[in-house]
Each structure stands twice: as structure tokens, then as C-alpha cells.
Structure 1
Amino acid sequence: MNSHDNCIFCKIVAGQIPSRKVYEDDDMMAFHDIHPKAPVHFLLIPKSHVDSLAECGPAEGEVLARMMLKVPELARAAGCGNGFRTVINTGPDGGQEVYHLHVHVLGGPRNQWKVSLP
């Protein structure tokens, strides 16, 4: 059994767990966070399992670049024309809870966020 066999995000990619999809192509998928911290809060993940940003190497470079270039497009489409925040939690001390690389994209009026901003 591979470590990704029990990965909730791999199961979402496989269609075994429902999600509120924002975007999907051959390499990545975006869906709404089930515990949103802002009026707009979705996750963007690579479809191929990689535990965290710390585990990425040259093989993940192209999909990482495509993901980062997709974020502004998806954020604008979600109504974040006045800005957005991206967060990648990495490892236990970085607050990572699901060990499948994912980018949080948060936006909307700052006074409606459930997290404090510096």
C-alpha cells in the first residue's frame, strides 16, 4: 500500500470523495476548502501525489510553475480582483494537516476573514 492510498486529496482527484470543484485539468485540480477561513478559500493541488513542498524536486517543477500561474486566474474568476493570499503549509511545524501538496488561495474583504493577517 502506497502512502497516497489513504490520502483524502488523492481520493478527491479519483472522484471517490465529492468536492466543490473550482478547476481541473490533466495535472491539477482546485476545489473549495471545507473549512473556509475567508469568503473565498479554495485549494489547488497537483493530481500526482507529493507529500509536501519539501518533497518536491525537478520532476515537480513544471506542474508547480503551472499551478502558480493558474492561481491569479482562478482568484480573479472567484471575485478576488482586489487581491488574494496564497499559503503553502509545509510539514508539522508549518501547520500542514493533509500530506498532499496544496496551495490555499484566500480572498475577499479582509474584515470577513477568519484568520489574522500581518
Structure 2
Amino acid sequence: MTNDCLFCRIVAGEIPATVVHETDETLAFRDIGPKAPVHVLVIPKVHHTDVSELAVADPGLAGKVLAACAAVAAGEGLGEGGFRVIFNSGPHSGQEVFHVHAHVLGGKPLGPMVSA
């Protein structure tokens, strides 16, 4: 955990979040600024800056994050209509919190891009 990381503080229980899925190694919670009817963030409980760092440091955990994304999509009823998983990596991608996280979006046709 890093003390200045928002998501580490959510994992530690210092900041509330609406949790929709949790395993020993991952946490999934609703985004506070949703871009779709379903917008859930999936994170590893240990701190990694971005998806590239996670993939190199712990490929097994990266797989567990993806498995959690699939579990969230199923739990939110997105299986039939489909869903999108997005990882932003670095400041040019639009990453705002530098703790790796996947966005699971769905619940409506999203088109080719998600708009702000």
C-alpha cells in the first residue's frame, strides 16, 4: 500500500466504495463518475502503477484481475449484450489514478468509443 494512493486507501478501508466483487487478491467497485449504465473498476489489492508494470511483475495476478473483470460482467448481467474492458496506462492515455485498474463498462451499446 502507498499512503498517497486513492485505490490503496480504498483497499485499506480508509475510503468507502460500493464493492460489487472481491477476492483475496482483487477488488471491484462502482466508478463514481460512470460512463455507462454499468461502470465498475477492478483493481489488484497490491499496488502496481499500471497494467504494463503489473504484467511484468506478476502475470498471474494480471490474469486474476481479468478473471475478476469477467466475474463482474457476469454478476452485472452483461453476458448477453457484451461489455468492454479498458486499461488506461500512463498520463497520455487518460489514466488519473496511478494504481492499475480495469474499467468494466456495459449495459448499453457503447459504439466504437466511450465518450466523456
TM more than 0.5: yes
- Residue 43 of structure 1 is matched in structure 2 by 41
2:66 is equivalent to residue 68 of structure 1:
yes
Task: Report the Cα distance in structure 2 between the residues aligned to 1:75 and 1:61, rounded to whole angstroms.
Answer: 21
Task: Report the Cα distance in structure 1 between the residues aligned to 2:30 and 2:91, rounded to whole angstroms.
Answer: 23
Task: Report the Cα distance in structure 2 between the residues aligned to 1:5 and 1:12, rounded to whole angstroms.
Answer: 11
> Higher mean Cα deviation, 102-111 or 11-20?
102-111
1:15-54 Cα shifts (integer Å, max 9, x gaps):
0000000111111100000000000000000000011123
Moved over 3 A (4+): none
> If each structure's helix is expressed as a fraction of its own residues, which one has the higher value?
1
Structure 1 unaligned spans of 5+: none
- Residue 110 of structure 1 is matched in structure 2 by 109
1:51-79 Cα shifts (integer Å, max 9, x gaps):
11232354311111111122222102102
- Tell whether the 8 Å contact from 2:55 to 2:62 is kept in structure 1 after alignment: no
2:68 is equivalent to residue 85 of structure 1:
no
- Tell whether the 8 Å contact from 2:54 to 2:100 is kept in structure 1 after alignment: no
- Give the aligned CA root-mean-square deviation in angstroms: 1.8
Task: Give the TM-score normalised by structure 2.
Answer: 0.88
Task: Report the Cα distance in structure 1 between the residues aligned to 2:71 and 2:3, rounded to whole angstroms.
Answer: 31
Task: Give the TM-score normalised by structure 1.
Answer: 0.87
- Residue 28 of structure 1 is matched in structure 2 by 26
Structure 2 unaligned spans of 5+: none
Task: Report the Cα distance in structure 2 between the residues aligned to 1:35 and 1:50, rounded to whole angstroms.
Answer: 22
> Higher mean Cα deviation, 60-69 or 38-47?
60-69
Amino acid at match of 1:61: P
Amino acid at match of 2:96: E
